[in-house]
C-alpha cells in the first residue's frame, strides 16, 4: 500500500531550492516551490499545503534527512497528521528512492542553476513529466499508473 514518502531539498544556485517528495512504492514525485526561502518556517507550511492535496490514505509518513529545514517537523505533524522520521546522519541509503529521484531531477535542474524562475505551476508540469515516465524498476509502468493501480 502506498503512503511512505521520502523528502529532501534540491538546492540550486543563488541560495535557491525546491522541496521534493517521492512515494516509495510508486516513485510518484511531488515538487514544492519555495519562493520565500529554505528555512523551516517557510518549508514546513509549503510542504503541508502540498501534502494536503492528497487523500489521507496516500500519506502515512515522510522520511527526511537531518537538514534544518524540517526543524519545525512537529508543527507539520500537527497540521497534517503525517509523522516525520529522520535518517541517521550521513546515511543517504536510508532514503534510496529519494537519492535516485534527485539524480533524475538534475536533468531538469542542473547543479548550480537557480530555482528562482520556477513557480508551482512549472514544478507541477515537471512532476507530471516525471510521473508519466516509464521506469524499469516499476516493470516499465509509470509512477502514475502504479499509484492508480495501488488505489484500486
For 30-68, how does the pLDDT look when each residue is reduced to its tens digit (9 = 90+)?
999 999 999 999 999 999 999 999 988 899 999 998 889
pLDDT at 29 exceeding the cut of 90: yes
- For residue 143, the model assigns a pLDDT of 97
Give the structural domain span for 130: 4-151
**5 Cβ contact list (under 8 Å, min separation 6):** 21, 22, 23, 24, 51, 59, 61, 62, 63
Domain of 50, CATH number, reads: 3.30.420.10
- For residue 90, the model assigns a pLDDT of 79
At 95, give phi and psi (nearest 5°).
Answer: -130, 55
pLDDT, tens digit, 9 for 90 and up, residues 92-140 = 777 778 888 988 999 999 999 999 989 999 999 999 999 999 999 999 9
Query: Taking the CA atoms of the chain, what radius of gyration do you get in angstroms?
Result: 14
Number of independent structural domains in the chain: 1
Pull the grid cell for residue 51: 501534502
Pull the grid cell for residue 110: 542542473
Amino acid at each position: 500500500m502506498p503512503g511512505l514518502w521520502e523528502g529532501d531539498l534540491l538546492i540550486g544556485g543563488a541560495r535557491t531550492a525546491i522541496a521534493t517528495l517521492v512515494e516509495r512504492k510508486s516513485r510518484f514525485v511531488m515538487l514544492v516551490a519555495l519562493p520565500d526561502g529554505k528555512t523551516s518556517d517557510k518549508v514546513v507550511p509549503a510542504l503541508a499545503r502540498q501534502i494536503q492535496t492528497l487523500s489521507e490514505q496516500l500519506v502515512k509518513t515522510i522520511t527526511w534527512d537531518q537538514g534544518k529545514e524540517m526543524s519545525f517537523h512537529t508543527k507539520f505533524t500537527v497540521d497534517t497528521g503525517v509523522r516525520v522520521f529522520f535518517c541517521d546522519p550521513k546515511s543517504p541509503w536510508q532514503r534510496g528512492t529519494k537519492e535516485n529521484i534527485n539524480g533524475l531531477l538534475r536533468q531538469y535542474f542542473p547543479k548550480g542553476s537557480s530555482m528562482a524562475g520556477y513557480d508551482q505551476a512549472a514544478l507541477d508540469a515537471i512532476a507530471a513529466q516525471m510521473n508519466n515516465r516509464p521506469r524499469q524498476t516499476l516493470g516499465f509502468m509509470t509512477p502514475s499508473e502504479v499509484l492508480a493501480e495501488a488505489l484500486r
